[in-house]
Amino acid sequence: MRTPFVVGNWKLHKTIAESLALVTELKNQLGAVKGVAVGVAPVFTALHAVAKRLEGSPIATCAQDCHWEASGAWTGEVSAGHIADAGGTWAIVGHSERRQFFGDTSEGVGKKARAALAAGLGAIVCVGESLAERDGGRTLAVVDEQLAGGLSGIAAASAPRLVIAYEPVWAIGTGRTATPAQAQEVHAHIRARLAEHLGADAAGAIRIQYGGSVKPSNAEALLGEPDIDGALVGGASLEASDFVAIVKAARPG
Ligand code: PGA
């Protein structure tokens, strides 16, 4: 059985004080929720303060990216080791906004995922097609290419700390969500590819999150699909009440 994992990706939102206010509310409201793993991904400058505030809570502190090298002359970058030092336990890598606006390639995403795992973090590897790619019938081919790069050099033993997030680019921040059936089709495909890359046991253990306009009103239907094991939530993670409702929708059974 896979424990669903719901992560709030705060993107470029919230000061340190605002981040602390939100995690304090989440801690209070999610204290009793069982059977779901939860994480938040603040901006780097708030990461340490958020991790400190979450000490003793099961809510994980995640980074929105990491660099592939541990240290060196890489002005402006943050390494996985520095994220761990600040109290982070997961890194999101390959988010479509990184691929689209910052030039992240599938090969680079694989390097980042390997660096995160080597530093003891979990890695959330994002994949997903654009609208033109979907309309051109290339969804599964695009996801395959992104998975091949993102998983390269990763061993099956990393399965518990490896998460794939399927985020169709046309559904991110647009209010347009994939239907549960559309998402399930791609999730099942991803799980089959995971089995080819890492073996059936690892594929059965790896959580595959859906992301793209997840809201309290659609979370239950999406998370009810057999291969959807949680959510990567952008806009709706910025308000405690919406995020808590999504987490509650992810409870098994
Ligand atoms: P959204 O973002 O929920 O605002 O669509 C999801 C994401 O980019 O991770």
pLDDT one-digit tens code per residue, 72-81: 999 999 999 9
Closest residue by Cα to atom 3, ligand 1, is 234
The number of the ligand 1 atom at minimal distance from the alpha carbon of 171 is 5
CA 53 – CA 34 distance, rounded (Å): 20
pTM of the prediction?
0.97
Q: Evaluate: CB of 8 within 6 angstroms of ligand 1.
A: no
Q: Which of 48, 67, 95, 187 is catalytic?
A: 95
User: Closest Cα partner for 54 from 83, 26, 85?
Assistant: 26
- pLDDT over 90 at 144, yes or no: yes
Q: Tens digits of per-residue pLDDT, 79-108?
A: 999 999 999 999 999 999 999 999 999 999
What tens digit of pLDDT does each residue of 183-195 get? 999 999 999 999 9
Residue 96's φ and ψ, nearest 5 degrees, are -60, -30
pLDDT beyond 90 at 174: no
Q: How many A from CA of 73 to the centre of ligand 1? A: 32
Distance 173 CA to ligand 1 centre (A): 5
- pLDDT band at residue 173 under the 50/70/90 scheme: confident
Q: Quick check: 59 and 31 in contact, CB under 8 A?
A: no
- For the question of residue 129 being annotated catalytic, the response is no
Q: Which of 92, 96, 209, 214 to mutate to test the pocket of ligand 1 (most atoms within 8 A of CB)?
A: 214
What's the CA dihedral at 74, 75, 79, 85 to 10 degrees? 130
Q: Is the CB of 172 under 6 A from ligand 1?
A: yes
Q: From the CA of 211, how far away is ligand 1's center (Å)?
A: 6
How high is the mean pLDDT of the chain? Answer: 96
Spatial separation of the C-alpha atoms in residues 175 and 160, rounded to whole Å: 31
**What is the CA(32)–ligand 1 centre distance, in A?**
26
Annotation marks residue 197 as catalytic: no
Closest residue by Cα to residue 133 from 187, 163, 171, 180: 171
Q: Indicate whether 124 pLDDT > 80.
A: yes
What pLDDT is recorded for position 185?
A: 97
pLDDT at 32: 77
Question: What number is the average pLDDT over the span 198-207?
Answer: 97
pLDDT given for residue 33 in this prediction: 85
Percentage of the chain modeled with pLDDT above 70:
99
Query: 31 pLDDT band (50/70/90 cuts)?
Result: confident
| Alpha helices in the chain, H assignment, sequence order | 16-30, 44-53, 80-85, 96-102, 106-118, 131-135, 139-151, 180-198, 200-205, 216-223, 240-249
